[in-house]
Amino acid sequence: MKRIVSIQDISCLGKCSLTVALPIVSAMGIECAILPTAVLSTHTMFQNFTCKDLTDQIGPIARHWKQEGIAFDAIYTGYLASADQVADVCRFFDAFKTPDNLIFVDPAMADNGKLYPAFGPEFPAEMAKVCAKADVIVPNLTEASLLTGLPYRTEYDEGYLRELIAALAELGPRHVALTGVSLEPGKLGVMAYDRATGETFTYFNDEIPVRYHGTGDVFASTCVGGLMNGLNLGQALALAADYTVECIRLTKHTPNSNWYGVEFERAIPMLLRSLHPEGA
């Protein structure tokens, strides 16, 4: 059985980060070890959230795992607690990277043109160091602009997306998948680029005009699960996009649900049917 480790926070309530990654990756038949970066009462869109930074646990946990001879098929990072934590996460990569495993980085730090409230202006440059070590990164447009210093635009053309992707690839990752992008009204999807082959991949669904917290984490977790099940990156991105859309479709009639995340649990049967169309 394949095993990954997911390095991100536990928001105790509000369906995002580890409370999304654990069930989705597990449902896809992959063991999901966790390295919590912080424990928060809720995600940071709620007022007055509590936060215990766990930076001082990363080194000791990594050392114990090394002593036990533990290895991972993928290391999947998301929301990090602080800029100080970046060096520890990079050291974790150096300790557990092998020629065969995958470093998957969701630089979860911003959306809708703004950094998340817990981060200061120095944070994107630190997150760029994490992205530099990745095989795959999955930023949204806001994160892409903060990582590269290019302007954030809500109206754009394909040239702008290609410029962002080229600048992100310059940071160092082999694959860049820009999420939440649109090239025609009513469609929303992903544009990916493979620096080694120069190939571009796009995948779009009909846009559902509602926004939920935590859908980036649903998308990233599904993509990692797909890759660990042997899908290529294009297939994994398409599966992740379809599942995320299905979660939104199932949630959109629930009143006041935006902050509480999508009802991803209800769409797990659809995810598994898509992952195993032959019924295995």
Residues contributing to the site for ligand PXL (CB under 6 A) = 9, 11, 16-17, 40, 43-45, 79, 108, 116, 214, 216-217
Residue with tokens 């649990």: 265
Please name the helix (run of DSSP H) or strand (run of DSSP E) that holds residue 102, with its range, or none.
Answer: strand 102-105
Q: How far is CA 89 from the centre of its chain?
A: 15
Instruction: Decide the pairing of beta strands 51-53 and 31-42.
Output: antiparallel
Q: CA angle at residue 137 from 3 to 57, to 5 degrees?
A: 55
Query: Residue 108 Cβ, how far from ligand PXL at the closest point, in Å?
Result: 4
Rank residues 214 and 226 by Cβ distance to ligand PXL and give the closer one. 214
Rank residues 9 and 73 by Cβ distance to ligand PXL and give the closer one. 9
Rank residues 152 and 201 by Cβ distance to ligand PXL and give the closer one. 152
Phi/psi region, residue 182 (left: phi>0; alpha: psi -120 to 50; beta: rest), is beta
Query: Residue 117 Cβ, how far from ligand PXL at the closest point, in Å?
Result: 8
Query: Residue 23 Cβ, how far from ligand PXL at the closest point, in Å?
Result: 15
Rank residues 92 and 119 by Cβ distance to ligand PXL and give the closer one. 119
Minimal CB distance to ligand PXL: which residue? 44
Query: Residue 202 Cβ, how far from ligand PXL at the closest point, in Å?
Result: 24
Q: CA angle at residue 275 from 272 to 278, to 5 degrees?
A: 95
